């Protein structure tokens, strides 16, 4: 074993690393020896592990501390914070939770978390928070994710499940050996493939793509960004208008139908509802055939190109990949449904290298070939509160208590939220129309967060409890989406008075008299051993042996053996649909869903359609002529480590880059390196120009993740000095079915910023009032 392999390990959502530690600090993160394509993101934490952005002690907003819950909520992000002791903080939180639940009921507590705080199995902030809140009687929760909420609601009506097929996409080796044509809507973005929720031991998306290209597979990248597909594989770029994917797919379906290329035998045996779609597809229903000419006019592509593509797809073994980003647009339910329709008409679903896949390289695990360990999770207990929201409806929840909302066929009511508790995740990154959300954020009496750094969430809170980073705690990286299991070492002591989420919640639980119910008499090491041992029992039940816990800790990691055969999504269903039915009402793929049809939603009928978005290039307001794509960043995960050295090195004059086509830049007198104002009627932010002809004219791209940095935190609407594009995006649900986010439906204008550049203060802490030595905390 080399000297490097003797170094302790840690694991993150963006990779596994060996750590060089000296003088109590992590000096260097080195690539795990099993990883041929390590992500550079990890090293960004080293410069910010200590320092001014860390929260070093419990903090309480001054107005809240002096005047109580609900005091001057308009002063969130303006007031200074007052440092208090942990004893004081625990008492304040316990008292406020008790006040809210006794006065208003537990449904008045909203538990917000997004699960990305740590790759560790035990130190999973969402599980810790939900267990604690369930121990005190429950809370209003959220359902689904910002990543693909539209698909999470829609696809179970079509396939019986979404997650089951998300985690079992046809593996890259089957694609390499069998696919001849790979059509990817939204590309195969390697920047996204750096990440895998729950940790990753080995990155394989880049090599898989290269192997596929070397095997002679033709790639077709349909979307506004050429960079969404690796140049090494060649391929054809069809620079479609954003938000037109469903129309393109319907145009392909029309060609397959009218030219007799649809596999009618497959459609009859494995699907239901095809004949119900034909009146819409042919135009018999509305007089508008959804043919290639129709799709070309909407998408900006050539009708001949679309017809030729449809014919090639019918002639050759074809894989259709639909990016997760397609769901994050107005009517984002439709592209995935339309892709399943086209794949069904081709009749290749369940064959090696054929069919469809949900977002190759959306995360590292998509297309992997590995056996999943049935990992035990930190038990969250049962939430007795029935109220919930679709995850992207947080502003509606806070602004409109008592209002009704539709969701997946049922009408619900928003409860009156008095307290928000957030642990893990950052709504000032994820959510749309941040100016609207700031207004909503003033509604609750109290906002409590567990956070490790002074991001916008922490600055907009009333009580801030400092938590540790993964480098400061021991854990187990164990996920069903990766074959590597890693013992995450505690590499350094917690910064200041920071505590693990488990210890934070245990302290509050003890103050509320439920400590034993929360921890069950186990400390952190006891819980981790219990989760690992339960995983071992679950694994043995399916014929997988893993090392005992002590051996695992000693050796540091192990890899679960890969399956001997490639993974073929829906292969068993194709082989025998009667013996392996889908969990749909018919047991088949429902190209027309009677269930969805029965909901009566005009914005999501019973079959795939194209519905004009609320704003797009085909009907642009002259004031906002550019379509903004706010996709995932390549230097960080969401907004994590935005203040780290890796991410900062990519900024332009401290601002988030804005990619523009040369024609669009020239028309505005702009050149690379200029700082510009990006704006619409919802808000404005600054950005730094990058000129690149690999983006469609009329489209601009600005990644999410820049920490929100309002020029005037006291103003209800303010310019973001740093470049958070979610000040521009609209806060509207995809449809009444899923209520997912629609960030990718957004029109803007861009102009030179001629004023004196304001300093970026996003990464600076707020004003903090410290206790006088010897005084009372």
Is 422 known to be catalytic? no
Cβ-contact 746, 630 below 8 angstroms: yes
Cβ neighbors of 446 (< 8 A, separation 6 or more) are 64, 69, 70, 96, 100, 418, 419, 420, 462, 463
CB 175 within 8 A of CB 182: yes
Show the CA angle centred on residue 630, arms to residues 731 and 710, nearest 5°: 70
Where are the alpha helices (H) located in 47-196, listed in sequence order?
62-67, 86-103, 125-135, 149-159, 163-166, 172-178
Report yes or no: 320 and 339 within 8 Å, Cβ to Cβ.
yes
User: How many helical (H) and strand (E) elements, i.e. helices and strands, does the chain have?
Assistant: 25, 30
Give the CA diameter of the chain.
86
- Supply the DSSP symbol for 11: E
CB 261 within 8 A of CB 310: yes
Lookup result for tokens 């027309």: 592
Residue in the structure block whose two tokens are 């700031």: 438
Q: Hunting for tokens 């540790």 — which residue is that?
A: 468
State the Cα angle at 14 between 13 and 18, rounded to 5°: 100
d(CA 30, CA 155): 40
Q: By the 8 A CB rule, do 247 and 618 touch?
A: no
Please give the Cα distance from 465 to 57 (Å, whole number). 7
Question: Residue 648: CA atoms inside 13 Å, Cβ hemisphere, count?
Answer: 12
Instruction: List the structure tokens of 282.
Output: 């042919």
Signed CA dihedral, 517, 522, 527, 529: sign only: negative
Which residue in the list 110, 114, 294, 414 is annotated as catalytic? 114
Which tokens in the block code for residue 219?
């790639």
Helix (H) or strand (E) holding 319: strand 318-322
> Is 707 tagged catalytic?
no
Among 116, 165, 294, 422, the one annotated catalytic: 116
Contact 408, 738 (CB under 8 A): yes
User: Could you tell me the two tokens for 690?
Assistant: 């990058």
Distance CA 427, CA 202 (A): 30
* Residues belonging to the active site: 114, 116
């Amino acid at each position: 074993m080399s000297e490097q392999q003797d170094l302790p390990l840690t694991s993150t959502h963006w990779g596994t690393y060996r750590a060089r530690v000296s003088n109590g600090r992590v000096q260097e993160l080195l690539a795990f020896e099993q990883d041929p394509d390590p992500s550079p993101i990890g090293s960004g934490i080293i410069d910010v592990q200590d320092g001014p952005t860390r929260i070093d002690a419990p903090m309480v907003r001054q107005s809240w501390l002096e005047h109580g819950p609900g005091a001057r909520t308009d002063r969130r992000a303006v007031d200074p914070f007052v440092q208090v002791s942990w004893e004081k903080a625990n008492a304040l939180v316990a008292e406020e939770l008790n006040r809210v639940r006794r006065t208003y009921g537990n449904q008045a507590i909203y538990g917000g978390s997004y699960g990305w705080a740590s790759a560790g199995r035990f130190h999973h902030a969402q599980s810790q928070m939900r267990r604690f809140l369930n121990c005190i009687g429950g809370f209003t929760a959220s359902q689904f994710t910002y990543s693909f909420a539209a698909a999470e609601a829609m696809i179970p009506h079509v396939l019986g499940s979404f997650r089951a097929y998300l985690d079992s996409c046809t593996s890259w080796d089957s694609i390499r050996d069998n696919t001849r044509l790979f059509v990817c809507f939204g590309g195969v973005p390697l920047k996204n493939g750096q990440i895998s929720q729950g940790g990753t031991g080995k990155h394989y998306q880049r090599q898989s793509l290269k192997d596929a290209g070397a095997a002679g597979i033709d790639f077709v990248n349909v979307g506004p960004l050429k960079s969404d597909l690796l140049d090494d594989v060649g391929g054809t770029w069809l620079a479609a208008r954003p938000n037109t994917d469903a129309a393109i797919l319907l145009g392909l379906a029309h060609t397959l139908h009218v030219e007799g290329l649809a596999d009618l035998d497959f459609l009859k045996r494995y699907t239901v509802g095809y004949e119900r779609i034909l009146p819409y597809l042919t135009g018999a229903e509305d007089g508008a055939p959804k043919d290639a000419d129709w799709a070309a006019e909407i998408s900006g592509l050539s009708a001949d190109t679309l017809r030729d593509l449809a014919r090639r797809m019918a002639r050759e073994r074809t894989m259709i990949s639909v990016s997760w980003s397609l769901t994050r647009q107005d009517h984002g339910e439709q592209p995935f449904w339309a892709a399943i329709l086209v794949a069904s008409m081709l009749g290749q679903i369940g064959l090696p290298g054929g069919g469809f896949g949900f977002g190759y390289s959306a995360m590292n695990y998509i297309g992997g070939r590995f056996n999943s360990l049935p990992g035990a999770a930190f038990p969250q207990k049962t939430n007795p509160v029935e109220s919930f929201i679709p995850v992207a409806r947080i502003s509606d929840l806070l602004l409109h208590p008592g209002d009704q909302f539709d969701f997946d066929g049922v009408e619900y009511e928003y409860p009156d939220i008095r307290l928000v508790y957030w642990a893990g995740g950052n709504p000032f990154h994820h959510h749309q129309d941040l100016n609207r959300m700031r207004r909503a954020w003033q509604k609750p009496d109290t906002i409590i967060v567990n956070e490790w750094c002074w991001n916008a969430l922490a600055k907009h809170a009333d009580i801030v409890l400092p938590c540790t980073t993964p480098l400061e705690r021991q854990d187990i990286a164990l996920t069903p989406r990766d074959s590597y299991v890693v013992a995450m070492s505690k590499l350094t002591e917690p910064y200041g008075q920071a505590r693990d989420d488990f210890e934070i919640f245990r302290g509050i639980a003890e103050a509320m008299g439920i400590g034993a119910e929360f921890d069950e008499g186990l400390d952190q090491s006891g819980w981790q051993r219990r989760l690992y041992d339960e995983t071992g029992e679950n694994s043995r039940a399916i014929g997988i042996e893993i090392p005992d816990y002590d051996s695992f800790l000693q050796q540091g990691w192990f890899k679960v053996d890969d399956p001997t055969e490639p993974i073929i999504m829906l292969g068993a269903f194709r082989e025998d649909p009667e013996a392996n039915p889908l969990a749909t009402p018919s047991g088949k793929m429902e190209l027309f869903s009677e269930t969805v049809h029965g909901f009566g939603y005009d914005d999501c009928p019973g079959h795939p359609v194209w519905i004009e978005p609320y704003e797009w290039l085909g009907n642009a307001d002259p004031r906002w002529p550019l379509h903004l794509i706010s996709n995932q960043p390549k230097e960080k995960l969401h907004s994590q480590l935005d203040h780290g050295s890796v991410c900062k090195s990519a900024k332009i004059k401290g601002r988030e880059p804005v990619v523009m086509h040369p024609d669009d830049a020239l028309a505005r007198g702009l050149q690379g390196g200029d700082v510009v104002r990006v704006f619409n009627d919802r808000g404005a932010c600054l950005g730094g120009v990058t000129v690149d002809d690999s983006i469609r004219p009329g489209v601009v791209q600005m990644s999410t993740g820049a920490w929100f940095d309002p020029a005037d935190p006291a103003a209800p609407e303010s310019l973001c000095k740093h470049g958070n594009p979610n000040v521009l995006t609209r806060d509207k649900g995809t449809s009444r079915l899923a209520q997912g986010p629609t960030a990718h439906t957004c029109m803007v204008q861009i102009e030179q910023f001629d004023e004196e550049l304001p300093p970026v203060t996003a990464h600076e802490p707020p004003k903090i009032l410290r206790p006088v030595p010897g005084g009372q905390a």
